[in-house]
Amino acid sequence: MIEVTISDSQHRILPLVPMLYVAWADNVLSPSEISVIKEKVSEISFLNEEDIALLYSWIDPKNPPSEELIQKWIKWIRTAAEKQELGSPDLLMDLSNKMAAAGGDSASWDSDEARTALNEIRNAIGIATLKDHRSILTEELREAEAKQFSKPGFAAAEMQILLEGEYSDLIQRVKRLLADPVFRLRHHENKDAYRSIVMEWCKLLAEQGYGAVAYPTEYGGSDDVAQYMNIFETLGFHDLSLVIKFGVQFGLFGGSVYWLGTKKHHDRYQTDIGSLKLAGCFAMTETGHGSNVRDLETTASYDIDSGEFVIHTPHYGAGKEYIGNALHGRMATVFAQLETRGEGHGVHAFLVPLRDDAGNELPGITVKDCGYKLGLNGVDNGRIWFDQVRVPRENLLDRFGSVDEQGNYSSPIESRSRRFFTMLGTLVGGRVGVPRAGLSAAKKGLTIAIKHALKRRQFGPEKQPETLLLDYPMHQRRLIPLLARVYGMHFGLQYLTRRFANRSDEDIREIEMLAAGLKSWSTWQTTAILQECREACGGKGYLWENCFADLKADTDIFTTFEGDNSILMQLVSKGLLTEYKREFNDMNPVKLVKYLVGEVSFAVEERLGARSTNEEHLRDDEYHLDTLRHRERHLLKSLAKRLRAYIKSGMDAYDAAIRCQTHLLALGRAYSERVVLEQFVLALKACEDPGLQRVLDMLCDLFALHLIEEHKAWYLEHEYMSAKKSRAIRKTIDRLCLKLRPEVSALVDAFGIPDHLLFAEIAVGEQS
């Protein structure tokens, strides 16, 4: 934070203080506001260089005015306003005039050039008077204003605070920034023009300090990865090409340098990456080895004579594929097989320059544009090949493995396999960020569909007004359970973010499994939710102006980003099997007997509950949790038995796993759904507001029962429930949808998506 006092020679800038106060009132000074202020101030002839330098320091988004300075501004404004009539039609300009008089510069500020500059600065800030900020003038008005905004009961604003939690102020600042005209959403026919705009947006975000927030303070950040994830999710309400470009630059590229490199790399590159002075990309995926990172074919051979690594693509299929920022990037983190002294040491990461300062490809580098895609055409994806490209030995990101001048390899982790998985574990952040961007898209799609359904009328009794779409039980059934699911996703992904932000070496494997499961399940949900919302809006949902075209196209790839969902779910199940095996190996005879007794006891309870249909039972959190846990536990045990039987019969472990692939996917999904429900229940119990708790309780019940209904065939096959109970669950879901019908408008408003980001005619415009 900046600390500034005004010297006697700088009293000339006092008239700008009221406008600067208003400009900073929402904690955001947007790029357009900064640009206009700088331009107009520079045109005022009687301001000297010292005056202008001070003003520039006050409008630096990376160093906003301190609380002490804000209080000084308020004191100066109040002093100037002591005899000011509150009913003045132009209070802001009057205050500026009074402050000019107080500084002894009335004549200068009364000139045409000064008045014009003040007016244009005021217009850029987007205000006509101080009407909305009069509380700074008197304590009485400030207290009255505080009382005005204190309202009891369930309100969208209260739910929004609960959802956003401790990062609410940050989220609001990002939304206000995105209201700046330079971020205006529009339709882009040409990918190259679109990419240029997205790149400019990223630069503006970097100028505000948002790109570097996850990095340590010495590199321009806040050392807070949770801040980064909340910014990432909020940007998802705007433009998803921007989200992915932002993530590639600051998350993947910057994150790889920070987490895989050491201090020499951080000192040299981290600040420039965070400010976007150095644009880069993350070159892992290859055409022939998409998800199979262990067997990538790009090589990095150490040349002892020159002290360099030679990065080489041995054939076309070993080229890096679908690399974001490939056309704008000047450097890449390249994953390649490290070879030195004739021995391979597995996949490592290297910093490889791609272009010179003029943007020309360097010798040995070939980059080809991937061209138009199904979506995300604002992201410059490309293919990259390396032909004997030499980089200094220091360009090896050597946190987990290093090579000395003589070509000797060393690593703090002896096991090659453990070293590989440890390296990948540091990069799990992408699997936290992608589903959060997908969550924003799902929230936006549901908000559009529900607002449309609350305005659009269709059919009705003869000579009576037509019926609102959301008053039809079918429409309630289409959308309201999905609303409950999005709330569940929200609490589940918040939990994942907390775990990731506070991870340790001891729990990183568990977090990797959690991230793989929730990323897969959540992005599958996003795809399904957006499709249902589009259909629920009929032909209107097919128009580009109503956002579903971009939302669906841009999020479709999320099921593939950061690992194909089907592959990730198998990794989840293999992790669960490993833990299951470890538990049994650690059990002594007494523990084993207790475990078996518990299993028998649970089996008796589930038989007794299979036919229970009263609503109190069906809406009981413990019943919901037991039901999802039972499915997960049963799938885990049966999978272990199947694999053991195959292997015991002589089948190779790899072939046995292939035979059980569908079973592996089912277990991964069951695990993910159980985790999300647990987090929803915990969030409900932590809520202390009775109004919010009441509606969250209904949403949580609906979320759980809708999941159980989705898997009812499995539960019926395994005799966990009767047909009668299945019908009772269906009816309870219908009743919950009806009960939640009056709440849905506030529930989507609680997502806090302003109209300029919602950007859908059927949601923010008048219904025709």
pLDDT average, residue stretch 149-169: 79
- Mean pLDDT (the chain, rounded): 88
Who's near 676: CB < 8 A, 6+ residues apart? 488, 489, 491, 492, 518, 521
Q: Angle at CA 106, nearest 5°, toward 104 and 109?
A: 120
Q: Among the options 286, 321, 339, 562, which is catalytic?
A: 562
pTM equals 0.87
All structural domains of the chain: 8-148 (no CATH), 280-426 (2.40.110.10), 431-756 (1.20.140.10)
- Tell me the per-residue pLDDT of 58-83, one tens digit each, with 9 for 90 and over: 888 888 888 788 888 777 777 766 65
Residues 533 and 446 sit within 8 Å (Cβ to Cβ): yes
**pLDDT at 143 (0 to 100):** 47
More confident residue, 730 or 600: 730
CB-side neighbour CA atoms (13 Å) of 415 = 6
Separation between Cα atoms, residue 515 and residue 572, nearest integer Å: 9
> What are the residue ranges of helices labelled H in 649-743?
653-659, 661-686, 690-710, 712-717, 723-740
SS3 for 283? strand
To which residue do tokens 């005005």 refer? Answer: 148
562 is catalytic: yes
Determine the Cα–Cα distance for residues 680 and 686; give it in Å rounded to an integer. Answer: 10
Give the CA distances from residue 17 to residues 141, 236, 429, in Å, rounded to whole numbers and listed in that order.
Answer: 20, 35, 42
**Residue 148 class from Cβ within 10 Å (0-12 exposed, 13-18 middle, 19+ buried)?**
exposed
Locate tokens 């505000």: which residue? 208
Residues 486 and 529: beta-carbon distance below 8 Å: yes
Rounded to whole angstroms, the maximal C-alpha distance in the chain is 98
Average pLDDT value for residue range 470-486:
95
Report the pLDDT value the prediction gives residue 125, as an integer from 0 to 100: 67
Answer whether residue 105 shows pLDDT above 90.
no
Enter the tokens of residue 130: 């101080």
Q: How confident is the model at residue 443 (pLDDT cuts 50, 70, 90)?
A: very high
In order of 177, 291, 467, 768, the CA distances from 460 in angstroms are 44, 53, 5, 17
Q: Contact, 14 vs 47, CB < 8 A?
A: no
Tokens of 91: 């209070």
Check residue 147 and give its pLDDT. 43
3-class SS letters over 587-637: CCHHHHHHHHHHHHHHHHHHHHHCCCCCHHHHCCHHHHHHHHHHHHHHHHH
Q: Which two tokens stand for residue 52?
A: 């202008």
DSSP three-state, residue 280: strand
Q: Which of 570, 562, 490, 478 is nearest to 528 (CA)?
A: 478
Q: How many helices (H) and strands (E) does the chain have?
A: 33, 11
Distance of CA 283 to the CA centre of its chain: 22
| Greatest mean pLDDT among 42-56, 570-584, 621-635 | 621-635
Whether the CB-CB separation of 617 and 609 falls below 8 Å is answered with yes
pLDDT value, residue 87? 44
pLDDT at 29: 78
Q: What residues pair up with 352 in beta bridges, in sequence order?
A: 332
Residue 475 to residues 8, 266, 393, 731, Cα–Cα distance (Å): 68, 53, 62, 15
Residue whose token pair is 């074919």: 297
3-state secondary structure string, 364-395?
CEEEEECCCCCCCCCCCCEEEEECCEEEEHHH
